[in-house]
Amino acid sequence: MPKDLLRKYMPNPETIRNHKSLQFLGEKLHDPNLWHLNHHSVAKAFAIGLFCAWIPTPTQMAFAAIAAFYLRANLPISVALVWITNPLTMPPLYYFAYLVGLSALNLPNAEFSLDSLLSGEILIPFLTGCLILGIICSLAGYFGFSYFWRHHVNKRWAHRRQRRQRFIGKKNPFRAIDWRL
């Protein structure tokens, strides 16, 4: 089940609840939906984490954590997914966001550099591309993970049904008894 795979990599909730720097959150850290691995909680966490990954600020993890609190999504997964945009992947992903923004706004291509970004020349196409990709990735993450979860559960149920059919097909001592009276 996807739950077992995710649980293997999840941090211990008790360790996070007792962390000194998170004590200001108080009782909010004890909400079970922040830690449970169910279909809705994890799908929402995928949407939050993938959207916040496209926010071009150093506070992506804080935004993901706040959104997870308010939307009652799985906190560790939503914060961990933000690391898709890490220092190694940021340049190509943000350049792609810039190109998407140029295409969406139908603007001519300008030089993409840190100086042009800080001066504001390419800020609007860059932020537009980040917003578009954030929305697309969050929707794809939510519905993609929902599909994966349902597919996996249906596959497990089919496997159980096959095992049950094989068991019933064998010599079953209980089969000869008429249980209807």
Note the Cα 179 to chain centre separation in Å.
48
pLDDT at 99: 92
Q: Mind listing the pLDDT tens digit for each residue in 126-153?
A: 999 999 999 999 999 999 999 998 888 8
pLDDT at 3: 61
Q: Which residues contact 165 (CB under 8 A, 6 or more apart)?
A: none
Q: Mind listing the pLDDT tens digit for each residue in 42-96?
A: 899 999 999 999 999 888 888 898 898 888 898 888 888 999 998 899 989 999 9
- In order of 9, 110, 158, the CA distances from 37 in angstroms are 12, 45, 22
pLDDT at 12: 65
The domains of the chain are located at 2-168
pLDDT at 112: 80
pTM (predicted TM-score): 0.74
Q: Mind listing the pLDDT tens digit for each residue in 6-41?
A: 666 666 666 666 666 556 666 666 676 677 788 888
Burial class (CB in 10 A: 0-12, 13-18, 19+), 103: middle
Residue 13, token pair as written in the block: 């909730």
